[in-house]
Amino acid sequence: MKEVETIPRHYLLKQLPSFIALVDNNHILVDASDSWLSQFGEDPNKGLGTSIMDLFLKHKGIGPKRLEECLTKNKTCTIRHKKVENTNQQWFKSTFVPWFDEEENVLGTIIQTEDISIAIEKDKELEKAKTLLKTKSEVAKVGSWEYDIATEKLTWSDVTRAIHQVSSNYEPTVSEGLEFYKSGYCRNKISMLFHKALQDGTPFNERLVIITKNGEERWVIAGGKAIKKNGKIEKLFGTFQDIHEQVMAEARTRESEQLLTTLIDNLPLNVFVKDQDSRKILVNKSECDYLGTTPENLIGKTDFELYDKKIAQISRDEDLEVMRTLKPMLGQETINVRKDGSSTHFLTSKIPLLDVEGKVYGLIGMSMDISNLKQKEDELRDLINVTAIQNKKLINFAHIVSHNLRSHTANFSMLLDFLIKEKDEKEKNRIMNMLSHASDNLLDTLENLNEVVDISTNVNLEKKSLNLTENITRVRQNLSAFLEKNKTEFKNNVQDELTVMSVPAYLESIILNLVTNAVKYRNPNKNPIIELNAKKQDKHVIFSISDNGLGIDLDRYGGKIFGMYKTFHNNKDARGLGLYIIKNQIEAMGGNITVSSEVNKGSTFNVYFNEENQ
């Protein structure tokens, strides 16, 4: 202790900012900078004179043996140690150098301590960064390459080698490297880019295809850039990345998109997607064709801009309902009316469109044009109606037939009953006459019924183009005696060349019946006047026959004017069922007949000849 007291304190040393300590051969701290002492947690005024061993052992990472060595070997040596205070770590590097006097006698050891925490941190970070980079490049399959111009040496990284499926010690030449690219476009392109980079340093980054050592085709991105020194290109450095999976995935996505677009566009349905405000966000070709415009003109539009206001409101209400309830509307019959007023029948479905969280963000709509179907349905309904009418007519006819035949047989039966009971010869004769009369009536009735049945069964009798005037003239000649007797004035205003489509026998029957009726129901106080007219109208020729006769109380008899009456056996006038027959004939030819009349003024019958075939 005496010696320690004799060694003077170097005031200069005490103030040094770097950490310096002097230790004597007994490992006792003889002097130190205040900064050094503070690193070991010692008071600058008290630390001196303590054992250096005790001080160092306060730190971690240093053993007494190693410390002993450094203090005694008289050689420069370095120790790393760290101070741990709570969670903080502080790294130090202490250099031990022998302490000589002027005669090169060893006095002890000079210890220089440095805080190397920052350097250590940096080292660690660098290490971390390197590991990260390596991991990253492995995961992302990004490799690298380097080409030294001076040595003509091409170096591949591990990943680059792996992508090429070559062994980890493979070292290619430039031409070998380029050979891996698929011959044709890819190899030409990479060769060009490589040489251009060599020449003037143009960087490149290109998607290309290589063929690996195992013969697989793979998509890669090859990038390269020049490294210059003093303006001279020294090296080329680049990345090399396997993007095969991405490219394939992209191709698949494109394919499925293409498939979906083709499918949606070619569906014979109008397909549309709407957002929550019922604005169209997708339309297919059918929808565009239906609205006669392009997708650009439809996207973002609502039904209010495309359809009739009322229809648009109905559609919007449907949209809201579907999006509110999340229940699809399926196969609803709807009518769309476009702005121009044309309407189309659709079978429409609307399905709510949900995002990944199950929240509705719009709807998919599909509409099938069923206008044709609807029309067919209407036609079918018409046909059913026609059939029902025909059926009713048939039943009616059956009743008439049964009634008429029954009335004759009833007469036979009654007369025969009389005949059996009658004793008087004169009366018997009378009854016999009546029986023969009844028999004639029955035959007449059967003939008349036959005539009616003929019309109904020969529906397909051939219609011909017939000159109307010629037929009128013929009927007039046949009836000349009858017309003259009744002092009939006959006015024919029909144009000479006018023709109608009719079954020849029917046309004659129609004219004959109408002319005869006009005279028969004449006004007894006037001479009959008959006027005939005809005109073309649309698909019909209207043939009119007017008289100045008794007229018909249409309010009362309008319903049965063309009906079949029980007039067959009243043989005074065989034409009693004339109107019934001609109505059937006209209808069988696809036409119709109407009447207008006023009591005591006269009647006009209009016959519509159907000029279309059937």
Partner 1 sequence: MFILMKKINSIYIIDDDPITIFGIKKMLKTVADCPDIAAFENGKLALDDLLARMKNEGPVPEVIFLDINMPIMDGWEFLEEFVTLDVKKRIIINVITSSIDPSDYQKWNYFRLKCLHYLNFKNKPIYKIDATDLKRINIAS
Applying CB under 8 A, which residues contact partner 1?
399, 402-404, 406-407, 409-411, 413-415, 417-418, 434, 437-438, 556, 565-567, 569-570, 576
- Considering the complex, what minimum distance in angstroms separates the CB of residue 438 from partner 1? 6
CB 201 within 8 A of CB 225: yes
φ/ψ (deg, to 5) at 530 = -115, 130
Q: The tokens of 500 are what? A: 């109608």
Q: Can you give the length of the chain in residues?
A: 614
Shortest gap between Cβ of 516 and partner 1 (angstroms)? 16
Task: Rank residues 482 and 565 by Cβ distance to partner 1 and give the closer one.
Answer: 565
Q: What are phi and psi of 82, to 5 degrees?
A: -135, 150
Contact 507, 589 (CB under 8 A): no
CB of 603 to partner 1, least distance (A): 15
Residue closer to partner 1, measured from CB, 274 or 569: 569
As a whole number of angstroms, the distance between CA 460 and CA 525 comes to 44
Which residues partner with 344 through β-bridges? 336
DSSP label at residue 86: T
The tokens of 154 are what? Answer: 């091409």
Nearer to partner 1, 570 or 600 (CB): 570
Q: How far is the CB of 406 from partner 1 (least distance, A)?
A: 4
Least Å distance between CB 410 and partner 1?
3
Whether the Cβ atoms of residue 43 and residue 55 lie closer than 8 Å to each other: no
CB 31, CB 12: distance < 8 Å: no
Token digits for 1?
Answer: 């202790």
Q: Cα(388)–Cα(394) distance, rounded to whole angstroms? A: 10
Provide, rounded to whole angstroms, the least separation between the CB of residue 577 and partner 1. 10
What contacts 24+ positions apart, CB below 8 Å, involve 454-458? 455/506, 455/581, 455/584, 455/585, 455/588, 456/397, 456/584, 456/588, 458/588
- The minimum distance between CB 401 and partner 1, in angstroms, equals 11
Dist. CA 180–CA 378, nearest whole Å: 72
Q: Which is nearer to partner 1, 485 or 566 (CB)?
A: 566
The nearer residue to partner 1, 75 or 560, going by C-beta atoms, is 560
Q: How far is the CB of 431 from partner 1 (least distance, A)?
A: 9
Alpha helices, DSSP H, located in 343-424 = 371-421
Based on CB atoms, which residue is closest to partner 1, 116 or 419? 419
Q: Which is nearer to partner 1, 406 or 485 (CB)?
A: 406
Residue 431 or 461 with smaller CB distance to partner 1: 431
CA distance 62 to 48: 21
- In the complex with partner 1, the residue whose CB is nearer, 251 or 414, is 414
- Name the minimum Å distance from CB 452 to partner 1: 16
Instruction: Name which of 359 and 421 has its Cβ closer to partner 1.
Output: 421
Query: CA-to-CA distance for 210 and 220, rounded, in angstroms?
Result: 7
Both structure tokens of 232:
């001279």
User: What is residue 31's three-state secondary structure?
Assistant: strand
- In the complex, minimum distance from the CB of residue 405 to partner 1, in angstroms, rounded to a whole number: 8
Integer CA distances (angstroms), 592 to 81, 527, 539, 541, in order: 123, 29, 13, 11
